[in-house]
Amino acid sequence: MSAWENNVRRVVPYVPGEQPKEKNIIKLNTNENPYPPSPLVLEKKLSLEKLRLYPDDKASLLVDAIADYHGVNSNQVFVGVGSDDVLAMAFMTFFNSDKKILFPDITYSFYDVWAELLGIGYERQKLDDSFRIKAEDYYKENGGIVIANPNAPTGIAEPVLFIEDIVKKNQDVVVIVDEAYVDFGGESAASLIDKYDNILVVRTFSKSRSMAGLRIGYALGSDVLIKYMNDVKFSYNSYTMNMPSIILGAESIKDEAYFKQTIEKVINTREWFKDEIEKIGFCCPPSSANFLFITHNTVSAREIFERARENKIYVRYFDKPRIDNYLRVTIGTREDMEIFLDFLKKNV
Give 286-308 as a DSSP string: ---SSEEEEEESSS-HHHHHHHH
Q: What's the mean pLDDT when you consider all of the chain?
A: 96
In eight-state DSSP terms, residue 16 is P
Own/partner pairs, 118-125, CB within 8 angstroms, 24+ separation: 118/91, 118/92, 120/91, 120/95, 120/96
pLDDT at 15: 87
**Spatial separation of the C-alpha atoms in residues 331 and 59, rounded to whole Å:** 32
**Spatial separation of the C-alpha atoms in residues 310 and 274, rounded to whole Å:** 23
Residues carrying CATH 3.40.640.10, the chain: 55-255
pLDDT at 238: 87
φ and ψ of 41, to 5 deg: -70, -50
**Spatial separation of the C-alpha atoms in residues 114 and 146, rounded to whole Å:** 12
**Spatial separation of the C-alpha atoms in residues 254 and 21, rounded to whole Å:** 33
Q: What b-and-e string marks burial along 272-297, b requiring 16 or more CB atoms within 10 Å of the CB?
A: ebbeebeeeebebbebbbbbbbbbbe
Taking the model in full, what pTM does it have?
0.96
**Spatial separation of the C-alpha atoms in residues 292 and 202, rounded to whole Å:** 22
**Spatial separation of the C-alpha atoms in residues 287 and 271, rounded to whole Å:** 9
pLDDT at 145: 98
Residues carrying CATH 3.90.1150.10, the chain: 15-37+257-347
pLDDT at 16: 87
pLDDT at 242: 95
Could you list the mean pLDDT of each consecutive 10-residue stretch along the chain, which spans 348 residues? 90 89 94 97 93 95 98 98 97 97 97 96 97 98 98 98 98 98 98 98 98 97 98 92 96 97 98 98 97 97 97 96 97 98 96
Angle at 208 between CA 230 and CA 56, to 5 degrees: 30
- CATH architecture assigned to 15-37+257-347: Alpha-Beta Complex (3.90)
pLDDT at 308: 97
**Spatial separation of the C-alpha atoms in residues 208 and 182, rounded to whole Å:** 9
**Spatial separation of the C-alpha atoms in residues 226 and 147, rounded to whole Å:** 19
**Spatial separation of the C-alpha atoms in residues 19 and 207, rounded to whole Å:** 16
For 52, other C-beta atoms within 10 Å of its C-beta total 6
- Which 3-state string (H, E, C) describes 188-234? CCHHHCCCCCCEEEEEECCCCCCCHHHCCEEEECCHHHHHHHHHHHH
CATH topology of domain 55-255: Aspartate Aminotransferase; domain 2 (3.40.640)
- C-alpha Rg value of the chain to the nearest Å: 21
